[in-house]
Amino acid sequence: MSLDLAQETFPALTEPRRVGARRSVRIPKRIDAVIVAFLAVAVGVVDASGLTRWPGFNGDEGIYTSQSWSVLHGSIEAYTYSYDHPFLGWAMMAPFEWLAETLGITGTGMAVLDARAVMVLLAVADAALLYGVACRLGFRRVVAAFTVLAWGWSPLTVSFARQVYLDNIALPFLLGALYLALDPARRQWFYVGAGAVFAVGVLSKETTLLYLPVLLYIVVQRTAGQVRVMAIASMATCSVAIIFLYPLFALLRGEFFPGSGHVSLWSEQIWAQLFSRAGSGSLWNVASSRFQLVDSWFHLDWWLPIAGLTGAVLMTAVARMRPIVVAVAISVAVVVKSSGYLPGMYIISVLPFLALCLGAVLNWLGGPAGAGKRRVTPRRVAAFTAVVALAVAMTPEYASGIRREATVNLVGPAEMADQYAISHIPHNANVLVDPIFYVDLIHHGFRHQWRGAIAYYQYDLDPESLTKLPGGWRDLDYLLVTPAMRDQISGKSVALPRTAAAIAHSRVVAVFGRGAQQVQVRKIIHSPSDTASVPKASS
Amino acid sequence: MFDFVTHLWIANVAISLPMVAFSLANLYWSTYAWHSPVTHEETTSSPARNDVHQHTFSVIVPLREEPIEVVGATIAKILAQTHPAVQPVCSVGYDDPDTLAVVRRLMDLYPGRITLAVSQSDVRNKPTQLNAALAACTGDVVGILDAESLSAPGLLSQIDATLQDPEIGVVQGGVMIVNHRASWVALRSSLEYYANHRSKMHFAAAHHFMLMGGNTVFFRRSLLDEVGGWDPEMLTEDAEIGVRLSVLGHDVRVAYQPHLVSREEAPTTIRSWVKQRTRWNLGFMQTIRKGVWRQLPTAGRRRFARWLLWQPSIMAISGVIIPLGVVVALFAPSPLWATMIAFLPAVPTVMLVVLDATMLYLFGREIGEKVRLIDYLLLVVTTPIYQLMSAYAAARAAVKYLLGDLRWEKTAHTGSHIEDIIDLTVYDRVAS
């Protein structure tokens, strides 16, 4: 691959532009709006069909759903805010919860599924922004559209995009920041805007900060001289100043530095993230949770990761694509090299960059856009063939993945347990729950926090728990036990002795689902007579 | 039902978002020259040829109690212009015998080259002196160079080339403060002049309304005659004549080039700085009251003019209100969201400090002088004092305005920037 060809396809980066001068990046036209509308529908429909069935609930989804409910009702979260993540992400979900409550659609299904619908809206926004980013990177329309579909229709993307994760909330801000930073006119205040939007992404999910070098690289690459100095200074300052409002918030609450009797940003977030959280092991150890996680990603889709990584290697030759390559490199480094905890949803922010690298190769194959009178050149035929061949090769994998994710029901047991709890458990009972049930019980008249619905994680770890529920399992009446909860009790990373004791002092009154998917409704054995009754089983 | 504390934080929240807006607007026009490669090129470019001369120049140098070192250096620089047709016009009040003597000495030194215009007015201010000098000007372009400003040799040739475009009637040249090492006040002033001439003036000119400076400005003689010269009532006659020219549809061209700027000295003490700033604020208030800006053709331009004239006062006030708001947010019990909103003005304030430092860096690069770490530190550390000073000057101007005290407070010229440039013994030789 020669650099000349690359420059020919992706024109030089830094020459000043005048109004009316030939641009290397097209001005958006009506056709772009049509394409974006099509992509939004294409991605939205695939994401939406089956979001109530696939994938199975992760406890984090319940946590963020219940926290957005809490924000709407006056506090950052239902329990002591532990600085595990900045709160802007779920705070921004609160207006949607408000909308749902105002429209009266709460309580009809699970609140977590309502929150998943919000995630689909965000994925639609991602699709539009990704198309914009691709166009500003010099992609032809057809290639940009292919890029968005390769991302949005990947079974890996679909599965994660539906889940209520902070990464999904941060992603549109990350893509929005890139879109602004790629402003064709290289305007300083668009860079400032990019910095501000990026800061919102970081305050939604702190790992977004990993991509700061990408943003800086784009601006350095596209500016020169005094304009560059001013652009970097103003963008970085705006971004950092907004991000620092978060530690300032902790400082105001007297919770920045560690101290006795309160949580602190320092010990829960900075120290924990950097040093003490249990690691995921080495990628090269097949038994490690890191290997299993990466394996599970590839199990959902190996096309996009492999094609994207290949593209990233090839695109190191193209100056304009190098910031995106850097983004992929940072992501890979975190997956391969870091020794710390690697969460599953980490892949969410990586996937658009992989798709961009794949698209960039196809764009490069097509040669310079709009050059020459001959519409059909051997190069374009080759590029077109490559797109078609790739599409044909990827289709079976994507199609079967999408079909599986649209039809297989992994949510059913939890949904049935939810309905059972609402209709069978007395509403004045204390129920220890996986947070995915938390808001539903509230919507159906249960109290919450330390009476009524009680989230199991905080029951064990919140400093207030011991004083609010000093009797341990004796203060409880029922438990809603999900697979995630059982995994956590048997796992080694966090000890949850109070939850384990509650399970040990309870009996099953109803089970939903089979094997590993099983969700149990359990009743605390307060007196010997409680053991006498026969467990009532349900499908 | 609301107690005092509740009122306090509600007011604080209500005021913080406008504060963010004002601060961002201030940052926006301060950085206009670097908004994009296009604006950077446009604010830096100049006519390609400047060796063809079509105009004749009269350059007014208004003088008031000036030492000979100061005036001599300024005149020498004017006479050393590469442009062949230059008439320096020294404007002196009849009641200022010392300065008259200084000019007479210089006229002996450069026989036949300097014109002396004596103002007979009893009002001692710059516009009356300018009007008196205008009558003595013979050139078809009239310029003003302040008594203490050293012009670059190629300046007039460049202005000549710029005025060869018949669309252009007024040219605002660049002014740079070079005594920035004298004190932190001078450092601040030099940075402010830099932002103004390098960036803000271009932004204003692009919006067809500009408050010109009083130094290194050049007018076609016909325009000055059309508007009847300077308004002798005005404390900032330079800005005010720009308003009248804007109303008549004459745009100003800003010509800023690092090698053609006039070198000038800034106040070095807080006292003289406050005097100068009070005069500017007071002058803008006068200009607002005079109301010529209301005759601008479109509502958008009138809005822009109003913003531009109020901007210095608003920024001065916000420099005090923002820190006060932060203190209130810290100590008045209020809901969390209210506290966070009240803290938002801190974002543009931090940006202001960093962008000031960035501009200092660029300023240093343009004058070819490395900015020392101590300069950056001084700049950052003095920010609160400077904002207090600005607010004090704005308040002082407001009080003077209400009391009707519109006397001219002259800025003293010490000539601290001159010594190394001109050989002072020349005056002694003439005297002996």
CB distance A237–B354 less than 8 Å? yes
Question: Does A47 reside within a domain?
Answer: yes
Question: Residue A17 is nearest to which of B38, B343, B355, comparing CB atoms?
Answer: B38
**Same-domain check for residues A520 and A374:** no
The string of DSSP letters for B369-387 reads: -PPPHHHHHHHHHTHHHHH
A252-268 residue pLDDT tens: 888 888 877 788 888 77
How many domains does one find in chain B? 1
Question: Does A453 reside within a domain?
Answer: yes
> Which residue, among B100, B60, B91, has the nearest Cα to B214 in the 3D structure?
B60
Coil, strand or helix at B264: strand
Residues 6+ apart with CB under 8 A from B358: A229, A230, A233, A234
CB distance B355–A237 less than 8 Å? yes
CB distance B340–A245 less than 8 Å? yes
**Integer Cα distance of A175 and A105 in angstroms:** 31
Question: Does A306 reside within a domain?
Answer: yes
Residues of A in contact with B355 (CB under 8 A): 230, 233-234, 237
**Same-domain check for residues A229 and A300:** yes
The domain boundary, picked from A349, A374, A407, lies at A407
- Residue A481, pLDDT score: 94
Phi, psi of B362 (to 5 degrees): -65, -40
**Integer Cα distance of A4 and A1 in angstroms:** 9
Residue written as token pair 């089970």 = A511
**Integer Cα distance of A77 and A63 in angstroms:** 9
Question: Does A388 reside within a domain?
Answer: yes
Question: Does A262 reside within a domain?
Answer: no
- Residue A144, pLDDT score: 95
**Same-domain check for residues A323 and A338:** yes
ipTM of the complex: 0.89
**Same-domain check for residues A347 and A432:** no
**Same-domain check for residues A331 and A438:** no
Q: Which residues pair with A448 in a beta bridge?
A: A453
**Integer Cα distance of A213 and B306 in angstroms:** 42
Residues of chain B where predicted confidence (pLDDT) is lower than 70: 1-2, 407-432
The string of DSSP letters for A212-255 reads: HHHHHHHHHHH--HHHHHHHHHHHHHHHHHHHTHHHHHHHHTT-
Residues of B in contact with A18 (CB under 8 A): 38
Question: Residue B351 is nearest to which of A16, A226, A238, comparing CB atoms?
Answer: A238
**Same-domain check for residues A110 and A233:** yes
- Residue A205, pLDDT score: 95
- Residue B424, pLDDT score: 39
The domain boundary, picked from A391, A407, A423, lies at A407
**Same-domain check for residues A470 and A519:** yes
Which CATH number does the domain housing residue B317 bear?
3.90.550.10
Distance of CA A497 to the CA centre of its chain: 30
Q: What is the pLDDT along chain A (539 residues), one digit of tens a residue?
A: 333 334 444 444 444 444 333 445 566 778 999 999 999 999 999 999 999 998 999 989 999 999 999 999 888 888 888 888 999 999 999 999 899 888 877 767 899 999 999 999 999 999 999 999 999 999 989 899 999 999 999 999 999 999 999 999 999 999 999 999 999 999 999 999 999 999 999 999 999 999 999 999 999 999 999 999 999 999 999 999 999 999 988 888 888 888 777 888 887 766 666 555 566 778 888 888 889 999 999 999 999 999 999 999 999 999 999 999 999 999 999 898 777 778 889 999 999 999 999 999 999 887 766 555 567 778 888 878 888 888 888 899 999 999 999 999 999 999 999 999 999 999 999 999 999 999 999 999 999 999 999 999 899 988 889 999 998 899 999 999 999 898 888 876 678 899 999 999 999 999 999 888 899 999 999 887 665 444 444 44
Q: How far apart are the first and last CA of chain A?
A: 60
- To the nearest 10°, the Cα dihedral for B225, B231, B236, B242? -40
**Integer Cα distance of A527 and A238 in angstroms:** 62
Q: Which residues pair with B172 in a beta bridge?
A: B217, B254
Q: How many CB pairs under 8 A join A and B?
A: 77
Q: Strand order of the sheet with strand A519-524?
A: A453-455, A431-433, A478-481, A519-524, A506-512
Residues in chain A: 539
- Residue A68, pLDDT score: 93
**Integer Cα distance of A182 and A144 in angstroms:** 15
Coil, strand or helix at B424: coil
Q: Strand order of the sheet with strand B170-173?
A: B115-119, B86-93, B57-62, B141-144, B217-220, B170-173, B252-255
CB distance B27–A19 less than 8 Å? no
- The boundaries of the domain holding residue B17 are 1-432
Residues of B in contact with A252 (CB under 8 A): 330, 339
**Same-domain check for residues A398 and A511:** no
Q: Return the amino acid letter for A171.
A: L
CB distance A188–B35 less than 8 Å? yes
Structure tokens at A183: 């402003």
The string of DSSP letters for A92-138 reads: HHHHHHHHHHHHT-TTSS-HHHHHHHHHHHHHHHHHHHHHHHHHHTT
Tell me which chain A residue has its CA closest to the CA of residue B362.
Answer: A226
The domain boundary, picked from A357, A390, A407, lies at A407
- The boundaries of the domain holding residue A456 are 412-538
Q: Determine the distance in angstroms separating the CA of B347 from the nearest CA of chain A, rounded to an integer.
A: 5
Distances (CA, A) of A334 to A276, A280, A290, A347, A359: 17, 12, 11, 11, 23
Question: Does A369 reside within a domain?
Answer: yes
Question: Does A248 reside within a domain?
Answer: no
How many domains does one find in chain A? 2
Phi, psi of B191 (to 5 degrees): -65, -40
**Is residue A139 exposed (0-12), middle (13-18) or buried (19+ Cβ within 10 Å)?**
buried
Question: Does A165 reside within a domain?
Answer: yes
CB distance B37–A186 less than 8 Å? yes
CB distance A189–B340 less than 8 Å? no
**Integer Cα distance of B266 and B146 in angstroms:** 12
**Same-domain check for residues A79 and A222:** yes
